[in-house]
Structure formats: structure tokens, C-alpha cells
Amino acid sequence: MTSSRTVTTALTALDANITVLPPYTPHLKGSIENLNHCATAMLFTALPGYVPKKPRRRPDPRPRTAQPLSFEAFTEHLLAWALWWNTEHRPAELRGATPLEAWQTDPTPLNDVPPADVWSFMLEDDARPRTITSHGVRFRNRDYIADWMTGQAGLKVTVRFMPHHTHELELCTPHGRHLGTAYLADQATDEQLAALRRTRTQRARRLRAEAKTAEHLRHTRFAPATEPGQPRRLDAMTATAAARELDQPPDLAALALPDLIPPAPPPSDWAIPKALRARTRPAEPSASSEDTP
């Protein structure tokens, strides 16, 4: 929704006609749907590693003859296909002309907008004044800073940003003049981000397994009936097992920190519950006790 609002604001500023089509109506935007279909049928299906939206019920027993393309190679193939489509491909609907030739011969007038005026329209406006401090600019509980901010403390600015691109911001004056780019301070390293992604994947896998187990346990079965009467549940279990499951609290420490290191034992004169004392590390022998024969 954010990107749609940004595009709508940009097109409104450029005095363009905006027609919002209802969702799930591909017949109302046939040219776009046809282009996507042609790209899939003419390019993507021929690439190694392509998987259709509706895979076959039985997996293909034939081994793969080639490895999937890298991102760089895929981008090169896609750009080459787009160039061929616009400059060499001649659809029957265009009566032998290429899409580029049809575009160039179209008499519809065009207004060229300077690139310096276009970039700001494609960014989301925070619509809130901010002040440059010694820590930079505060945005969504994070600091953004740049070299050009030196000596600019106290300057009022507005923030413009690309949705989902949180590594940098564009700062402008309240009147819209561009000042410069600010970058996220104390940005995590690639190793930290990789470890974070692995942790999130493990947590998502564990939560899915727990949800599956909980759903299986929640499912209730009933005995078959041949006569009208009250349904009879088939969920018999021992009272001990039921009490154990009811009294078992979630281990929040294990969920938050799987590799949690138990804390050191408190001083002996502290009064704490036995349950907490049992979860601490064993007391290390003192040096005096080791020296004692």
C-alpha cells in the first residue's frame, strides 16, 4: 500500500490520469497480462530451474541438465529479451511494426520532465519536520548520518525515502530543496545479518512445528454411533498426564535465548526460591579450598 500511495502522489504531481482497476480483473489490463504471459512462455520456461505455478503431481524423473542461473546471468538474459521484444519482435496486433516503432509513430503528445524533478516524486514523503543533531537524523527509532551534515546541527529537514529501502534516506529542506543522502548509522555487518536470518529461520521452523503439534493435540475424535445419543469423545488419557500438561509453563528463556548461559549462583546469604537457585551454575571451588589438603 505504501508504494501505491507513493506512485499515486507522483502521478498526481505530474498531472497524469489515474485509473484504479479492481483486483483480480486481468481482462481489464490485457496488455500487461499478455506481456507477463509472453515473458513466461517465451523466456522463463526455457531457463534452467524454472518451476511453474502449478507443478506436476508427479515429480519429473529426468535429472537436471544445467544449474540454475545466477542473479547476474538471469538479469542479462532478461534485459536481452526485453531489448529483442521492443526492437525486433513484430506482433500481429501492430501490423508488422515493433513495439518501439509503434511507440515512436504514435501521435499522442508527451511532456518530458527533467530528471532532477522526477526523482523526488518517486520517494515517500515523511510529512514531518526533523532536526539534524550531533547523532544525525532520527527516523523510525534509528539514526541516519552523513559527512555533509558536519556543522549542520539544528537545521530543519524533511525525510524522503524509498519504501523498504531503509539503508539510506534523502533529506530536503522544508521547501523541497534536496540537501543530500543520509545513511544508516551502526549498520549490522553481513555476518550479523546472515546469523540473524538463520536464527529467524530456526525460530519460524520451531514455531511451525509447535503449531502443528498443538493443532494435532487440539483435534478431537468421536466414537462411531449407530443409535441417536450424546457423542462420545475418544480423548481418554491419564490424570497424571493431563495435570502435567496443564501445569507445564512455557520456557520463555529457552524460546528467547536457546543458548542461554545459566547465571552464577548468588551469595549464600541471599534468600531466593529453590527453583531459581537450581537453575544457576554450580559454585566454583574457591582457591583456599583447593589448597587445603
SS3 172: strand
C-alpha cell at 43: 523466456
Q: How many whole angstroms separate alpha carbon 130 and alpha carbon 169?
A: 13
Main-chain dihedrals φ then ψ at residue 22, nearest 5 degrees: -65, 155
Main-chain dihedrals φ then ψ at residue 83, nearest 5 degrees: -65, -40
pLDDT at res. 130: 93
Helix (H) or strand (E) holding 156: strand 156-161
Contact, 157 vs 130, CB < 8 A?
yes
pLDDT at res. 147: 92
C-alpha cell at 221: 475424535
Which region, left, alpha or beta, applies to residue 252 given φ > 0 means left and ψ of -120 to 50 means alpha?
A: alpha
Residue among 270, 264, 267 at smallest CA distance from 282: 264
pLDDT digits (tens, 9 = 90+) for 59-79: 666 666 678 889 999 999 999
Q: Which residues of the chain have pLDDT under 50?
A: 1-2, 288-293
Contact, 233 vs 219, CB < 8 A?
no
pLDDT digits (tens, 9 = 90+) for 259-275: 556 667 777 777 777 76
CB atoms within 10 A of CB 137: 22
Q: How many whole angstroms separate alpha carbon 211 and alpha carbon 1?
A: 30
Q: How many whole angstroms separate alpha carbon 110 and alpha carbon 14?
A: 12
Q: How many whole angstroms separate alpha carbon 111 and alpha carbon 107?
A: 13
Helix (H) or strand (E) holding 287: helix 287-291
Q: How many whole angstroms separate alpha carbon 42 and alpha carbon 77?
A: 12
SS3 191: helix
Residue type, 165: H
Which region, left, alpha or beta, applies to residue 176 given φ > 0 means left and ψ of -120 to 50 means alpha?
A: left
C-alpha cell at 20: 484504479
Main-chain dihedrals φ then ψ at residue 115, nearest 5 degrees: -55, -30
The one-character DSSP state at 284 is P
Main-chain dihedrals φ then ψ at residue 28, nearest 5 degrees: -85, -15
Q: How many whole angstroms separate alpha carbon 197 and alpha carbon 199?
A: 5
